[in-house]
Amino acid sequence: MKTADYIAFVIDRLPKGYVFTYADFITEVSQKEAVIKALNRMVASGKIAKLSKGKYYKPENTPFGNLQPNQAQVVKDLLEENGKTTGYLTGYSIYNQMGFTTQVSNMIQIGKNQVRPNFKRERYTISFVKQKNTITKENIPLLQLLDVIRYIKKIPDANINTSCKRVLAIIKNLSDKEINTLVRLALKYPPATRALLGALLEQLQQKKAAEPLFKSLNPITKYKLAGAAKAITTTEKWNIV
């Protein structure tokens, strides 16, 4: 089978919006140039689209034009390395899907242990948030929730009162094991995050779970979160003003 025919055969079987590179098709170094030429011809014909240098995707056609790949596809090379999870979508990338805002951002934020400078990829700006905890597939939803609490002032088109109510609704559906893990992970977050999580947990009658957070805080430090007291009755104990 010719290189071009083989590539077309493989691409036909890929789902719409799947992002790939020439490396997905190469079995020998000598084939690289032929593969790149074949992919560029397919871009010119409109069968595939180019996301950024060396990255292509199979577009999904709609009456409003071609749909971009979802954000996880756009940055999947930054979320995994050799099959191991090394990052996760957070911040602006998940506020909408977690129900905190109706806005959809062109900023893709990624939580990683090792961060790097911001850069552009197609219409997106990719930025990074330092995560001090080990990242696993299992704890990503909890890390995302902690990041929401950490940056609760920065959620677009939302206020602290409504955001706290949404966090309460999410925590309420967690198991005891998940709450204990949430607290353990939170101990590596800034004091304001720990204080707000502690207040939220106590609001849900999870006083025992919140104890390690309370003990980790400086008793004289105040945390400015205007509006939190409208959703939480325990803010005074946690020095939230």
pLDDT in tens, 5-22: 888 888 888 888 888 888
pLDDT digits (tens, 9 = 90+) for 100-140: 998 888 899 999 999 999 999 878 899 999 999 999 999 99
Give percent above pLDDT 70 in the chain.
97
* HEC sequence for 219-238: CCCCECCCCHHHHCCCCCCC
To the nearest 10°, report the CA torsion of 236, 238, 239, 241: -60
CA distances from residue 149 to 36, 118, 166, 223, 232 in whole angstroms, order as listed: 44, 23, 11, 13, 14
Token readout for 212 is 């390690």
How much is the pLDDT for 53?
83
How much is the pLDDT for 50?
87
C-alpha span between 154 and 163 (Å, rounded):
11
pLDDT at 33 over 90: no
pLDDT at 68 over 90: no
Token readout for 133 is 């905890």
How much is the pLDDT for 228?
96
pLDDT at 29 over 60: no
Average pLDDT rounded to a whole number, residues 191-220 = 97
Q: Is 219 exposed, middle or buried (0-12, 13-18, 19+ CB in 10 A)?
A: exposed
Query: What's the mean pLDDT when you consider all of the chain?
Result: 91
- Structure confidence at residue 28 as a pLDDT band (50, 70, 90): low
Average pLDDT rounded to a whole number, residues 73-98 = 92
pLDDT at 63 over 80: no
pLDDT at 192 over 80: yes
pLDDT digits (tens, 9 = 90+) for 142-166: 999 999 999 999 999 999 999 999 9
Quote the pTM value. 0.81
How much is the pLDDT for 1?
59
How much is the pLDDT for 101?
92
How much is the pLDDT for 30?
61
Give percent above pLDDT 90 in the chain.
63
